[in-house]
Amino acid sequence: MATLVVLQGGKAVEHPIPDGETVLGRHPGCTIQLDSNTVSRRHAQVTKVDGNYFIEDLGSGNGTFVNGKQIEGKAQLVHDDRIKLGPILLRFQSEGSALAAPAQRPSIPRPQAVAETNHDIDFVDEADDGATITGTLVGVGAGGGGQYGMLDVRPEVKLKAVIEITRSLAGVVDVTAICPRILDALFEIFSQADRGCILLKDEKAKLVPRAMKHRRAGEDATVKLSRTILNKVLSDKTGILSADAANDAAFSASESISSLDIRSMMCVPLLSHEGEPMGVISIDTQNPISQFNEEDLDLLMAVAGQAALSYEGAQLLVSFMEKKKQDGEMEIARNVQRALLPTDLPKAEGYEFYASYDAAQAVGGDYYDAGMLPGNKIFLSFGDVAGKGVPGALIMSRMSSCCQSTMQFVHEVGPAVEAINHHMCANAVEGRFVTYVLAIIDLTTHEMTLVNAGHMSPIIRRADGSLFEFPDESVGVPIGVVDGYPFDVLNFKLEPGDLAVLFTDGVSEAMAPNDDLYTLEHLRKFILNGPKKADELGKVLLADVRRHANGRPQNDDITIMTFGRNPV
């Protein structure tokens, strides 16, 4: 039986032509009803006579055209003739040449290869947008079926498609490769698709093309996207089915119906596990016979839901792998920084030395060092870099190498600090300075010379039980701030039983869970009543700071150095 293929509203519908007369028009009583105000109530009729088919205009207002020519009276139809009734386009299919049985979905053979193209996308503004929305499917947050659409619509087809997309994306961890794989799977699921693209939001929430496919190499692969539709898809989390037939001029009967630029397009959101849109998938077809329908839209919503979860899972896996790599690198950095600190403190008869270092992060900005000098002397170097973490650790490493090289050649505290300050001021990083104390103890005379460059004064507990701190006016500027600064050299004689404590502000500013600070006043009281030996005092002081924090994570690096003369 011959058929008439009617293209209207972005769809192609076949109508078998029975024997006798087949009337086409707007009236409901017509054999084939055409929904257009520019089509007459009884516009034309097709008649079968002795196996041949003829079309006749029934006095319509806009005329009947066959292959671009207006007919008068009857005109015989042959296979693939193009018919135009007002804006309605039809194609005549002779007996034995129908595209498909009525129970099957018409389709045109599609090329199997999917060509990858550059991200060539034409965004159409609302004023120039001729798209007609023919269907919508609401996603998460609007009372619909969620990411997977309406699960009661063709559940077996939907399940098969979700399994197919899941299998296609299994094991893919490269986020740059996952989007093309999604499109490859979609072209398998939707055999009528001609072009497709995936756009994802960047850091500025701007849609950026991440993948694009088209079915035929050598053709114009530009994907046209309506800004109106994109905005609606993202704002309403809605899947949209649209069709944009070309204007009347493009429908001129001189053109073959099979080559008309009638585009059916589906656009759906990619929703995160929190239900927020992170991008869109758009596919379209120019096949006039196999246009997309609302069931296709529902199927694409289901597939997009699984694709979004796969993409998000790949992102999380990549982030996890990057985090593990960073953790490994930070562990190496921690070991490198620990290697910059002295493994053993000097041993001198009648003296004790202790130091501990605990970074708030993997690496930190606190610093200490100690070593022997010619003339039976010991130097003690102690500092706190402005800042924590990696930036502080980098400055700390520079400070450590600078101190080591300086103390090999300069054995007086004043010139040594001036040399260290000069070196650190050269190529200094803005805002990165070091509060610093350098002390040199003469083990013969027990005289201690000291320079304080912006740090808190050492707290010295004398043998008689009193506390001593250097006056504030003796404190100079931090290292790395002013080149050539004249630092004051301070003197103190250590008597038997005298014990000194150097500390960073991670001690005095340690915070309890209720935000209470450890405070300098509490530190002074603890030192005053603490053990008499330097190593014991350092250990119990660190334990007391941790007791005060009561499990709260450190907000700053904690470094303690204690030293002094043993009691007689």
Q: Do 559 and 545 touch, CB atoms closer than 8 A?
A: no
Spans of the chain below 70 pLDDT = 8-11, 96-161, 165, 168-175, 216-224, 243-263, 288-289, 429-431
**Would you state the structure tokens that stand for residue 377, as one six-digit string?**
């002397």
Q: Do 450 and 492 touch, CB atoms closer than 8 A?
A: yes
Specify the pLDDT at position 564: 94
* Structural element, H or E, at residue 562: strand 558-565
Single out the residue of 500, 501, 506 nearest to residue 548, CA to CA: 506
Specify the pLDDT at position 338: 82
- Does the pTM surpass 0.85? The reply is no
Specify the pLDDT at position 180: 85
Q: Do 88 and 8 touch, CB atoms closer than 8 A?
A: yes
Which residue shows structure tokens 């004398």? 462
How far apart are the C-alpha atoms of 215 and 113, rounded to whole Å?
6
Specify the pLDDT at position 376: 95
Specify the pLDDT at position 174: 64
Task: Give the CA radius of gyration of the chain.
Answer: 42
Nearest 5°: phi and psi at 446? 65, 20
Specify the pLDDT at position 57: 93
Specify the pLDDT at position 116: 52
How far apart are the C-alpha atoms of 369 and 341, rounded to whole Å?
6
Single out the residue of 461, 468, 470, 409 nearest to residue 437, CA to CA: 470
**What are all long-range contacts of 214-219, with beta carbons under 8 Å and residues at least 24 apart?**
214/114, 214/115, 214/117, 215/110, 215/111, 215/113, 215/114, 215/115, 215/187, 216/111, 216/115, 217/113, 217/115
The beta-strand segments (E) located in 163-205 are 195-201
How far apart are the C-alpha atoms of 91 and 187, rounded to whole Å?
27
- Cα–Cα–Cα angle for 326, 330, 331, rounded to 5 degrees: 120
Specify the pLDDT at position 413: 96
Q: Do 214 and 221 touch, CB atoms closer than 8 A?
A: yes
Specify the pLDDT at position 380: 96
- Torsion sign over Cα 93, 99, 104, 107: negative
Specify the pLDDT at position 320: 84
C-alpha distances (whole Å) from 159 to each of 130, 164, 242, 406, 520 are 34, 8, 25, 73, 67
Q: Which residues neighbour 270 within 8 Å (Cβ) at sequence distance 6 or greater? A: 198, 200, 277, 278, 279, 280, 281, 304, 307, 308, 311
> Residue 138 CA to chain centroid, in angstroms?
25
How far apart are the C-alpha atoms of 393 and 261, rounded to whole Å?
64
How far apart are the C-alpha atoms of 486 and 477, rounded to whole Å?
9
Which residue shows structure tokens 């002081």? 541
**Would you state the structure tokens that stand for residue 29, as one six-digit string?**
């009583």
The beta-strand segments (E) located in 20-87 are 21-25, 32-33, 44-49, 52-57, 64-66, 69-70, 74-77, 82-85
